[in-house]
Structure 1
Amino acid sequence: MVDYLRYYFNTLLVLTAIFGFYLGGQWVWLGASTYLVLLALDLLLPNDYKNRKINHPLLVDFSLYLHVVLMLVMYGMFAWRMKQGFPPATSYNLALLGSFASLVWISAVPNLPIAHELMHRRSAVERFLANIAATFFFDPHRAIGHVHTHHLYFDTEKDSDTPLRGEKFYEFIWRATKGAYLDTFELEKRRMAAKNKSVWGPSSIVFWGIVAVFGTPLAIGLYAGWLAGVITLSVMVTTKFLLEALNYLQHYGLQRDTNQPIEDRHTWHHFSTMSRIAGLEITNHIDHHRDGFLPFYKLKVHKDAPEMPSVFICAPAAFIPWVWDNLIVKPRLKKWDLEYASPEERKLARKANLRAGWPDWIGESQSVTVQHHRASVWD
C-alpha cells in the first residue's frame, strides 16, 4: 500500500498551495514552504534503493490525472484570491511575492515530473494532459523536442538539454530553452510543410502552443485584473527556466559514445527518498532512456550507477557555480571519467575537461599508470 500512497504525496503538495491561496494573507506562502519540508525529509530519511511493486497501475496513474486537475484549481484559486484581495493588515507586496513563489515551486515540482511522465505515454488523452501541465512552465509541446532530440542525443553536444563541462547554470538555461523551442519549431515546420500548411496556422501545434501560453495569463488577467495576469505570465516564464535545472542535474558533463548501447553510467541518479517521490522516479531514470514508454513505477534501481546527492541539495547548489563545480560535480565527474567511462568516452571527457579549463585528471592517471608499468618492468 505504501508503494501506492507515496505518489499521492505530490497531490498533497498541490493541495497545500491551494489551501494557502484559499486562506489568503501570508498563508499564500504555504505552497513554497513545502520545499523546506521536502528538503528536511530528504536529509532525515535514508536513501531509497527499493524497486516499486505496483500490481494495479490505475491506482497510481490516477494521481497523475488528478494532479492536472488540481493545477487548474490552484491557478484558479490564485486568481480568485487576487480578485478577492488580501486583508488590510497583510503586507501586500510580501503576499504577492509569496503567491509568485508558491506558483513557481508547484509548477516546477511536482508538475514537471508529472508532465514528463504523461508526455511519454501512448494514450492521446494522457499526452493532452501533459500539454496542459506543461503550459504552466511555458512549454506546452515540450514532448516534441524532448523525445526527438534529447532521447536520441543525450550526453552528447547535439543535445541542448545536456550541460557541457564548465557551463554555468545561468548559461545553460538560456541555451537549453532556446534549443527546446527551436527543436519543436523545426520539427513542426517540416510536418506542416509535408501537408502544404503553415507552421503558424491553426493546424500547427506551434499556433496552439502560443494560444495556450498567452491565453492562460490573459484569461486570469481578464478575471482577476492585470496584475494577476502579469504574475501568471512571470510565473510561467520563470518556471520554464527553472525546469532546465533538472536537465542540468541529470546529465551534467556526461559523455556517451552513441555507437554503443545505453548503460547505467549515462545519467546521474538521485536515490534519496523524497527526490524519488517528488521527482516521480525521474531521478532514477536510466531505464527510461532505454525505453521511453516504461512507466515510472517500473523503473529499476541500479545501485552501481553514478550517484548524486539529493535533488533538493543539488538544485540550489547549481545557482552557486563555485559550490556546484567544486563540492558537487567535479569530484563525481573525476570518478566517472576514471571508473565508469568507456575508453572512447574517456577520450571525449578529456577533451571536455581541457575545453572547460579543468585539471587533466585523465592524463595524470594515464601518466601514473605508465610510470607504475615502467617501474614494474625494471623491478
Structure 2
Amino acid sequence: MTHPFASFRSALPFWMTLINVPLALIGTIWGGLWVLLLPVYGFVLVTVLDSLAGLNEENADPETAEADLKWYRAITLIWVPVQFVTLFFVIGYVAWHRHLNGWEVLGLMYGIGIMTGAAGIVYAHELLHQRNRLERWLGDILLAMVLYSHFRSEHLLVHHLHVGTPRDAVTARYNESFLRFFPRVLMECPPSAWRAEVAMLRRRGAGPFDRRNPFWRYGALQLGMLICALIVGGWYGLLLFLMQAFFAVWMLELTNYVEHYGLTRKYLGNGRFEHVKPHHSWNAAHTVSNWMLINLQRHSDHHYKPDRRFPLLQTYGADQAPQLPYGYPLMASLAMAPPLWRRMMNPKVRKWRAMYYPEITDWAPYKRGRHEDLAS
C-alpha cells in the first residue's frame, strides 16, 4: 500500500518557495514598489496566513520510508538550479539595464537575500544533514551563493555538538541583543569551523591543508560564484552579489538568534553538559511558515534527532519544549527591536528555567566567560 506521504499533493505546500521566483522577476523588471514583493511575501503575507491557518500539531510517522518522501526531497534538489538561474539573471539584468535607483536596488537585493537566505540556506541546511554526496554537494553550492560555506562545518561539527553551551557561538545568550549577537557570530564562527575541521583531520593523521579539508572546496565554490557575478554583471554585478549575500547571512543569523535564545543545557561538571533534549530549542508549530521553511521551526526535534528529514520532524507541546508565540518571520522582525524582544522573550526564558531547572538559583555562571569550567 502506498504511504499517503508519497503523493505530490501532500508535499505541494512545501513547494511555496517557488513563488519567490516570479516575485523576484517582477521586482527586477518593473522596479518601483514592486521590489518590495519578496519582503512583503516572506514577512507580511506568511505571518498573516499563519494567523489564519493556526497551528499544525500533527506528527508524521518517523519510520516512514525514504522512498515515500520523494516529492518532499524533490523541492530541495530542484531549488538549487532554480536559485542559481534566478539569482544571476537578476544580477545580470539589473547590472546591464541600470534602470533602478539606489533605494530600488537596496530593496530588491534585500528581497533576493531573503530568497537566498530564508529559502536557500534553509534548503542547504536540510541537504548538508544528509549522508549522500549529491545532496551535500548541492548544499555546498547553495551556501557558496551567499559566501557562507563554512556554515556546513560550523553547523555539523560545532553547533550540534555544543548547542546551549558557552562553546556554541550561535546560541544567543540571555539578554543579548541581535545587534551584539550578529557581529560576534561573524567573527567567531569561521575560525571555529576551521578548528573543527583541522581537529578532525588531525585525528585521521592528516595536516590542516590536506586535500580532504572541505575548506578547499568552499573556497573554490565561492570563487566560482564571484566569477559568475563578474561575468554576468561586471563590477556592478559583483556589488549586487555581495549585497544579497550579506542580507542572506543576516536572515540566517536572525533565525539562529531566535532558535535558541536564552536556552542553556545544564552543566554537569568536569567540562560536561547534559545531552541535548527537545527543550533546548524553541518550537513553533505555525502552519504556513513551517511550509515555507520546510519545518525548520520544529527545531526542538531537529536537534533531538538531527538525521530526520524535514517531513518527519515532530512537533512538541508546551510540556515538552518551549513555544514561540509566532512563526519565524514575525519573530525575526521582533528580534530587530531589542526592547520589544526582551519584553516578550525574557519572561518566557525565566519561566523555562523555573520549569526545567528549579534547582539552579544562580544563572550568572552560565553567561559566557563568567565561570572557568563553563568557558573551558
Q: TM-score, normalised by structure 1?
A: 0.83
User: Structure 1 residues 323, 220: CA separation in 2 closer, same or farther (over 3 Å shift)?
Assistant: same
The answer to which of 331-340 and 53-62 deviates more is: 53-62
Partner residue, 2:51? 43
1:164 and 2:164 aligned? no
Within 5 Å, give how 1:299-378 maps onto structure 2: 299-304=313-318, 305-310=321-326, 311-326=328-343, 328-341=344-357, 343=359, 346-347=360-361, 349=363, 351-352=365-366
Partner residue, 1:276? 290
For 2:330 and 2:39, locate their aligned partners in 1 and report how far apart those are by CA, in whole Å: 16
User: Structure 1 residues 181, 207: CA separation in 2 closer, same or farther (over 3 Å shift)?
Assistant: same
Q: Name the SS for the 1:283 alignment partner.
A: coil
**Structure 2, unaligned stretches of length 5 or more?**
1-6, 267-271, 371-376
Within 5 Å, give how 1:210-225 maps onto structure 2: 210-225=219-234
1:73 and 2:85 aligned? yes
Amino acid at match of 2:19: L
For 1:352 and 1:7, locate their aligned partners in 2 and report how far apart those are by CA, in whole Å: 38
For 1:262 and 1:166, locate their aligned partners in 2 and report how far apart those are by CA, in whole Å: 22
User: Structure 1 residues 353, 178: CA separation in 2 closer, same or farther (over 3 Å shift)?
Assistant: closer
The answer to which of 204-213 and 168-177 deviates more is: 204-213
User: Structure 1 residues 19, 195: CA separation in 2 closer, same or farther (over 3 Å shift)?
Assistant: farther
Question: Contact conserved, 2:283 with 2:299, CA < 8 A, in 1?
Answer: yes
The percentage of aligned residue pairs carrying the same residue is: 21
Partner residue, 1:267? 281
Q: Name the SS for the 2:221 alignment partner.
A: helix
1:10 and 2:56 aligned? no
Q: TM-score, normalised by structure 2?
A: 0.84
In the alignment, which of 148, 153, 157 is matched to residue 139 of structure 1? 148
Larger Rg: 1
**Structure 1, unaligned stretches of length 5 or more?**
357-379
Question: Contact conserved, 1:24 with 1:86, CA < 8 A, in 2?
Answer: no
RMSD over equivalenced CA pairs, Å: 2.6
For 2:71 and 2:156, locate their aligned partners in 1 and report how far apart those are by CA, in whole Å: 26
Alpha-carbon deviations, 1:315-369, whole Å to 9, x = none?
111111101111x2112012101223363xx34636558999xxxxxxxxxxxxx
Q: Which has the higher contact order (CA 8 A, sep 6+)?
A: 2
Q: How many residues matched? A: 348
The answer to which of 311-320 and 172-181 deviates more is: 172-181
In the alignment, which of 249, 265, 273 is matched to residue 258 of structure 2? 249
User: Structure 1 residues 14, 109: CA separation in 2 closer, same or farther (over 3 Å shift)?
Assistant: farther
Amino acid at match of 1:116: H
**Offset at 1:223?**
2.4
User: Structure 1 residues 190, 334: CA separation in 2 closer, same or farther (over 3 Å shift)?
Assistant: closer
**Offset at 1:39?**
2.1
User: Structure 1 residues 259, 34: CA separation in 2 closer, same or farther (over 3 Å shift)?
Assistant: same
**Offset at 1:198?**
5.3
Question: Contact conserved, 2:171 with 2:257, CA < 8 A, in 1?
Answer: yes
